Amino acid sequence: MKRIFVDQLADIITFTGDTARHLGYSLRSRVGDRVQVVDALGSCAEVELIQFDHESVRARRVSEIIQLRIERPITLACCLPKQNKFDVIVEKATELGVSRLVPLISDRTIARPSEAREQSKRERWSRIIREASQQSGRASMPLLEGIRELPAWLEEIKPNLDNENVVLIFCNERERDVYIKSVVRDIRREVAILIGPEGGFSDRDVRLIKDIGAVSVSLGSQIFKVDTAALSTLAIIQYELNG
C-alpha cells in the first residue's frame, strides 16, 4: 500500500500541493482508494480517499493509529560535491535509512552556494527526501539540516561524543590500519558518518576531526568519489546494525 507523509494525523486529512498531484496524476488514485499516512513521529494509519478537486485531495481515517518501528539513528554529514551530485546522495541516503542529513563545507569543498542558492537547494532536497521516503516505505523522514562549516558542526557534535551518546565514524583515505567493518560490529550507540569532499580533507580538517574523538576508518584500498563513499558506508552500516 502506498505510504504518504503528513504533518499531523487526523480523522480528516487534506492533501495539497505536490502530494495531491502525486495522488491524482502520478498514482491515478480514485475515490475509495486507500493509502497509509505517516507523521513525523512514525505514527501510522490507513485512510480512504473521499474527494478530489483541482488543488487538493481529502481523505478519511479508517484504521487505528499504530506506531511504526524506527531503526537506530544514523547521521550522514557529507561535504558538498560539485554539480548536483548531492541530490543523488540525498535520495539514496533516504532510501538507505539515514535519520539526519548534514551538508558540510570544509577547506577543500568547491561547491559553496550563496544564501539564495542554498534556499533553492534545500527546497529541492526536501522534495527529494519526501518522495524517496514515500517510495521506500520509511517509518519517518530524515531531518535535513542547513549547510554548515565543518569546524562549527564538529563543535556542535562534540558534547555527544564526550557523553558517549554518539560515535563519529570518519572515512579517512589515509587510514591504513582500521577498517569500517571491524568498527561497526561493536557499535551500540547512535552513529554519525563523516564524508569528505573531492580531494579529501585538509590537514587542518583531519586534526580537528581527530581532536574531538572521531574514529578514523578505511573503506579499502580504492579511492571513492564523494557519493560512492557516502552510500557505500551507509550500506555497510545498515547491514551490520540492522541486517
Instruction: Kindly state whether residues 50 and 144 are assigned to the same domain.
Output: no
Residue 57 shares a structural domain with residue 29: yes
CATH assignment at residue 38: 2.40.240.20
In a shared domain, residues 15 and 108: no
Please tell me whether residue 128 adopts helix, strand or coil conformation: helix
pLDDT higher at 140 or 186: 140
CATH number for the domain including 199? 3.40.1280.10
- Mean pLDDT value across residues 67-91: 90
Structural domain total, the chain: 2
Q: Identify whether residues 80 and 54 lie together within a single domain.
A: no
pLDDT tens per residue across span 149-195:
999 999 999 999 988 889 999 998 888 888 887 787 777 788 999 99
> What is the model's pLDDT at position 243?
58
Confidence of residue 140 (pLDDT cuts 50, 70, 90): confident
Averaged pLDDT for residues 6-15: 91
Domain range for 205: 74-242
Q: Are residues 63 and 145 in the same domain?
A: no
Identify residue 106 by its one-letter amino acid code.
S
How much is the pTM? 0.84
Q: Is 162 helix (H, G, I), strand (E, B) or coil?
A: helix
Q: Estimate to the nearest angstrom the gap between the alpha carbon of 121 and the chain centroid.
A: 15
Q: What is residue 219's predicted lDDT score, i.e. its pLDDT?
A: 86
H-assigned helices in the chain = 17-21, 85-95, 115-136, 150-162, 180-184, 203-211, 226-242
78 phi, psi to nearest 5 deg: -130, 130
Residue 110 Ramachandran class (φ > 0 left, ψ -120 to 50 alpha, else beta): alpha
Q: Is the pLDDT of residue 55 over 90?
A: no
29 and 97 in a single domain? The answer is no
What the block records as the C-alpha cell of 161 is: 561524543
Q: How far is CA 27 from CA 18, 19, 39, 53, 126, in A?
A: 12, 10, 20, 15, 20
